[in-house]
Amino acid sequence: MEQRRVYLDHSATTPVDDRVLEAMMPFFKGDFGNPNSIHAWGRRVREHVNGARERVASLLGAEPREIIFTGGGSEADNLAIKGGAFALKARGKHVITSAIEHHAVLDTVKWLGENGFDVTILPVDAQGMVSPETFRNSLREDTVFATVMYANNEVGTVQPIAELGAICRERGILFHTDAVQAAGHIPIDVRTLPVDMLTLSAHKMYGPKGVGALYLRKGVRIPPLVHGGGQEFGLRSGTENTAGIVGFGEAALLALDRFENGDDEKERFLRDKLIDGIQARIDAVLLTGHRTRRLPFHASVCIEHIEGEAMLLRLDAVGIGASSGSACTSGSLDPSHVLLAMGLSHVTAHGSLRLSLGKDTTEADIDYVLDALPPVVETLRAMSPFGRK
């Protein structure tokens, strides 16, 4: 079998689209002005920042004024969670989240718990889903803020955000969703989705790293996380990352084009072929995450009687880039908190494999992975401490 190079870790990051890079290049040299300057150099750059804000807003059905650019998804999560909780602390100090959040959310909520707030961390079912009934039952008179991710980065499960948001809206509770994995991959329309805040990140949708955004519904008031010159409507001070913001805008525009072209259907087809093929060719494989309510590009499994890190190294040796879960914690030897929250044992969770497809993934790439993975598993099972008795 001739070796290929197949990158299936798009949940960790995506390559910058050539058109995004082309849009960014002028702002490293020619259009170098500070967008806050009143002279011609600054005014020209400000026009492009405003244009990018309009494009990112259009991806969500939002108004440009509702988009706050940040230094990434994690910063946007912090701004939303700390800002939302502290804005309403006089009314109550109860905050709700789920057990499977990205650490940018989970650790921030836990920090609130260490600083005067009362935190409830909701369980999930075996598919990684938050129950709307459990969510509703967790609300209290002093609940002021809730945050549940739109789609999970490790297992791909898409949450019932519309239902959860509607529950919060009935009770006047601020609701935030981390949509970093979903935005740019599945259509989101905040004109009908009952969310007050939503986080997204450029590098998850073929844009540059180091730039994210927070959708902040018009009329919601939160304090800033970063103080200084008052940029981003006073909510995120610091000279704007102009090239990154322009790249983000271009990436958002291209994402809208992919929706119109039905590219998500192609990804679903390849995702399902990959999942079905793994389960057909390898025994003792557990699909993680919901079978149908999952991101169109996301496949995740636990392969029993195997150690996941060794599997990733072997796959890398044959040209396949994959992961065992969140790239932000890939150096940890601890099993995924997401998989443990879904009820998996430590041993099973250690055999996790995440394969996330991209817009340029081909059927030949999937065939290559399906041919390469079984012998890797067979070899490792023969030598694994998690092997069969």
**Which of 173, 180, 172 lies closest to 146, judged by CA?**
173
Tally of CB atoms within 10 A around 321 = 16
pLDDT at 328 over 60: no
Nearest 10 degrees: CA dihedral of 355, 356, 359, 365? 0
pLDDT at 387 over 80: no
| pLDDT confidence of residue 385 | 65
User: What is the percent of the chain where pLDDT is above 70?
Assistant: 96
Going from the C-alpha of 127 to that of each of 87, 147, 271, the distances in angstroms are: 34, 19, 17
What is the C-alpha to C-alpha distance for residues 165 and 176, in angstroms, rounded to an integer? 8
Strand partners of residue 69: 213
Confidence of residue 389 (pLDDT cuts 50, 70, 90): very low
What are the residue numbers of the active site? Answer: 328
For 355, list phi and psi in degrees, rounded to 5: -125, 110
pLDDT per position as a tens digit, 240-286 = 999 999 999 999 999 999 999 988 899 999 999 999 999 999 999 99
- Residue-averaged pLDDT of the chain: 95
pLDDT per position as a tens digit, 79-126 = 999 999 999 999 999 999 999 999 999 999 999 999 999 999 999 999
pLDDT per position as a tens digit, 329-374 = 445 557 899 999 999 999 999 999 999 999 999 999 999 999 999 9
Q: Which domains does the chain have, with CATH numbers?
A: 6-15+262-383 (3.90.1150.10), 18-259 (3.40.640.10)
Average pLDDT in the 45-68 region? 98
pLDDT at 183 over 80: yes
